[in-house]
Amino acid sequence: MSQDPSALALVLSADPSLIAIVRLSLFVSLSAVLVAALFGIPLGALVALSKFPGRQLAIVVLNALMGLPPVIVGLALYLLLSRSGLLGGLGILFTPRAMIIAQAVLVTPIIAALSRQTIEDLWLEYRDEFAAMQVGPLGRVNALIWDARFSLVTALLAGFGRAAAEVGAVMIVGGNIDGFTRTMTTAIALETSKGDLPLAMGLGLVLIAVVLAINALAWIARRQAERFAE
Taking the mean position of all CA atoms in its chain, how far away is CA 61? 18
Closest to another protein by CB, 62 vs 152, is 152
Closest to another protein by CB, 44 vs 94, is 94
CA geometry: angle at 94 spanning 113 and 171, to 5°? 60
Q: How far is the CB of 27 from another protein (least distance, A)?
A: 5
d(CA 55, CA 37): 21
Closest to another protein by CB, 66 vs 173, is 173
SS3 135: coil
Q: Is 17 exposed, middle or buried (0-12, 13-18, 19+ CB in 10 A)?
A: middle
Q: How far is the CB of 156 from another protein (least distance, A)?
A: 12
Closest to 74 (Cα-Cα) out of 9, 166, 180, 203: 166
Closest to another protein by CB, 46 vs 135, is 135
Q: How far is the CB of 34 from another protein (least distance, A)?
A: 11
In angstroms, the Cα distances linking 145 to 44, 130, 133 are 10, 14, 18
Closest to 104 (Cα-Cα) out of 215, 26, 198, 28: 28
Q: How far is the CB of 157 from another protein (least distance, A)?
A: 11
Closest to another protein by CB, 62 vs 140, is 140
Which residue ranges make up the site for another protein (CB under 8 A)? 1-3, 16, 19-20, 22-23, 26-27, 30, 82-85, 88, 91-97, 125-126, 128-129, 131-136, 139, 142-143, 146-147, 175-181, 190, 192-197, 213, 216-217, 220-221, 223-225, 227-230
Taking the mean position of all CA atoms in its chain, how far away is CA 78? 19
Q: How far is the CB of 86 from another protein (least distance, A)?
A: 12
d(CA 48, CA 36): 17
Closest to another protein by CB, 23 vs 55, is 23
Q: How far is the CB of 82 from another protein (least distance, A)?
A: 5
| Amino acid identity at 6 | S
Closest to 62 (Cα-Cα) out of 80, 31, 36, 87: 36
